[in-house]
Amino acid sequence: MSEPTRPEAAAAGDRILLKSLRVVAVREGWACLESPRGGACASCSGTATCAGAALARLSGPRRTWLPVRSAPVPVGSRVDVALDGGAFVRASVLAYLLPPAGLAVAAALAAAAGLSDGATALLCLAVLPLTLVPARLAERGGGIWHRMQIQPPPSRQP
């Protein structure tokens, strides 16, 4: 991912995460996008703090289906997938910070109440799904996947 290089993003003061992907299929307003092999990415010392590596972990498999909201994208072309940095941070907090924080609070309350280790573990098992509810609700309400936009690379933009 790179910092915003687009004039509209820089003018608005937004941080936009960009990833260049290849279109491998198009069906009914959706495009299947494939990430290039990250040979150099795996050996980079900045992988732990790289937004590109974080998005790769978030997107899961190498192929991702996203809705096409702009001009049609031909199979085989390269496109940029843009994501507002704030949306990425919010999704990360819901997915990666809230569950451990909920478990820590549950364990602390169980310890304060004098519960046994087994009872504390059972309480934490009950609390874990509850900590995932906000992320699920956010996704239903137009989560991070709906905020990703397919754009032609800058060299092809007017």
- Listed in sequence order, the residues at least 6 apart from 92 whose beta carbon sits closer than 8 Å to its beta carbon are 54
- Per residue in 89-103, pLDDT (tens digit) is 888 898 899 999 999
In the chain, domain spans: 7-156
The pair of three-digit structure tokens given for residue 26, joined into one six-digit string: 């198009």
Single-letter code of the amino acid located at 18: L
Q: CA-CA distances (angstroms) from residue 94 to 38, 101, 135, 139, 144?
A: 27, 10, 5, 10, 11
The percent helix, strand, coil of the chain (3-state, each to 5) is 50, 20, 25
- Per residue in 101-128, pLDDT (tens digit) is 999 999 999 999 999 999 999 999 999 9
pTM of this prediction? Answer: 0.56
- Per residue in 17-70, pLDDT (tens digit) is 888 888 999 988 888 888 765 555 555 666 667 776 776 666 555 787 888 877
